[in-house]
Amino acid sequence: MTTESETLPVHPAIARARAAWLAGLMHGRGLSARTIDAYERDTRQFLLFLGQHLAATPALADLKTLRVADYRSFLAWRRKSEAGARTLARGLAGIRSFMRHLDRDSEGSAAAAIAVQSPKQPKSLPKPLPVPEASALARGQAGFAEEPWIAARNAAIYALLYGCGLRISEALGLAADMLNGGDALRITGKGGKTRIVPLLPVCRAAVTRYRALCPFHLAADQPLFRGARGGPLNPAMIQRDMARMRGALGLPETATPHALRHSFATHLLAGGADLRAIQELLGHASLSTTQIYTAVDGAHLLNAYRAAHPRA
């Protein structure tokens, strides 16, 4: 950990309190060295800012009278150096921890630091797979499992993730009798919310092939998908298989089992599906959660436009 308390232009009492706080983080909180190093750097920047902001060497008395406006000024100062929202939020977390330490020892007040609003984090867009790659996974065209039944099992799971928009936990939570007859699945998702999802013929065929090859008895009320020894399948096995698939298909690190669910929604939207219908199929409680896929689809359209338009 890098510490510069001894050279930081602050009152010695602040330097001592800060050193004690950092030592406590290292030995008592179980934080990683990287996190502690970041907190050291963030509080050092804050105290350097206070020296400029107050036009005087900061003392403990100054830390007792800080206002929300002072913290906002610090965040604005950091933005001028192009610090992003995540960096600012992490920095504010470190400063709050330090101010709470001072507050507990009656050497400062954490009220304003707690009251200041953290910078809003940018929403990261889902990263769907292209249609050919998603279809190849769902059809088991790049399977690596040595046992044919395991290859069929993985292909059936990918088919359900992409063809039905299931979460990995939902697919692995299916009982063996849930796909017996009918053209739809009743899925219980997050928060106990139940939804009906159409079961495409290609998905049913993939599951039927797996069931025919599976060496274990699949009792009606037991898990449909089994591990190599017959127990419930661990999601890590599917994540590991997907990692091998990425190499075979030349896919990025963002190609995960959950990316197939993103692909389901994005490809439906691109094909003209109604956003409300996609919300129901995904089991989202709020339409605003589903609306993020409109940004993804728009980004794909823009990329296609730039690649194809002669004047782009």
**Catalytic option among 18, 78, 153, 261:** 261
Torsion sign (Cα): 294, 300, 304, 307: positive
**Range list of β-strands (E), 91-229:** 184-188, 194-198
**Catalytic option among 18, 153, 167, 195:** 167
**Catalytic option among 29, 86, 104, 190:** 190
Cα–Cα separations (whole angstroms), residue 22 to 3, 36, 114, 213: 9, 7, 19, 58
Q: Are 31 and 70 in contact (CB under 8 A)?
A: no
DSSP string over 230-255: SSBPPHHHHHHHHHHHHHHHT--TT-
Residue 190 appears among annotated catalytic residues:
yes
**Catalytic option among 78, 90, 267, 284:** 284
Cα separation, 134 vs 195, in Å, equals: 23
Residue 258 appears among annotated catalytic residues:
yes
Residue 11 appears among annotated catalytic residues:
no
What's the alpha-carbon Rg for the chain, to the nearest Å?
A: 27
CA triple 141-299-242, angle to 5 deg? 25
Cα separation, 125 vs 254, in Å, equals: 11
Residues 266-283 as b/e (b if ≥16 CB within 10 A, e otherwise) read bbbbeeeeeeeebbebbb
Cα separation, 134 vs 257, in Å, equals: 10
Residue type, 196: I
**Range list of β-strands (E), the chain:** 184-188, 194-198
Residue 293 appears among annotated catalytic residues:
yes
CA triple 185-191-196, angle to 5 deg? 20
223: phi then psi, degrees, rounded to nearest 5: -60, 140
Q: Which residues are the active-site residues?
A: 167, 190, 258, 261, 284, 293
